Amino acid sequence: MSARDENGIRIVEAPLGSDVYRQSLVLREAVLRTPLGLQLTAEELADDALRRHFCVLSHGAVVGSVSLEPLDQESLQLRQMAVAEDRRRERIGAELLEHAEGFARREGFKRIVLSARLGAEGFYARFGYRASGEPFDENTIPHVRMSKDLA
């Protein structure tokens, strides 16, 4: 995101327990849980230790977040993609996804899988992700499995 650094926007890794990680939890709660009447659970927070977390910072504040969890030596699962509601349509989600794919390639992974909320699958499809299987409920709302093979 070097071109956007001039505007105070950059992607950083958010180590577990760091201030950036704590800000990402607030964002994830606001975007992914509160609208559904849910809260982050202790189990979800414990699962965070298995993942790498990346955040988009704008002038020091987290405005986007994503987590990546290795499933095996070839596959990563993209989880907890969240962009602040007032910052959507600024390519923040696209840049997070591009960063996640670059990280996956550098680490030797060949595939990214994810569960997209119905309604968000079009976003991932624009980047080459393909849906498979039937929709299923996760956290009380319908999702679809999607994946992309990294070339």
Q: How many other C-beta atoms are found inside a 10 Å radius of the C-beta of residue 2?
A: 6
Q: How confident is the model over 74-97, as pLDDT tens digits?
A: 999 999 999 999 999 899 999 999
The model carries a pTM of 0.91
Whole-number percent of the chain with pLDDT over 70 = 95
Pairing mode of beta strands 111-117, 75-83: parallel
- Residue ranges and CATH numbers for the domains of the chain are 2-149 (3.40.630.30)
Q: In the predicted model, is pLDDT for residue 1 greater than 50?
A: no
Position 5 scores a pLDDT of 59
Position 39 scores a pLDDT of 86
Q: How far is 122 from 73, CA to CA, in rounded Å?
A: 28
Q: How far is 2 from 75, CA to CA, in rounded Å?
A: 28
Q: How confident is the model over 91-144, as pLDDT tens digits?
A: 999 999 999 999 999 999 999 999 999 989 999 999 999 999 999 998 889 999
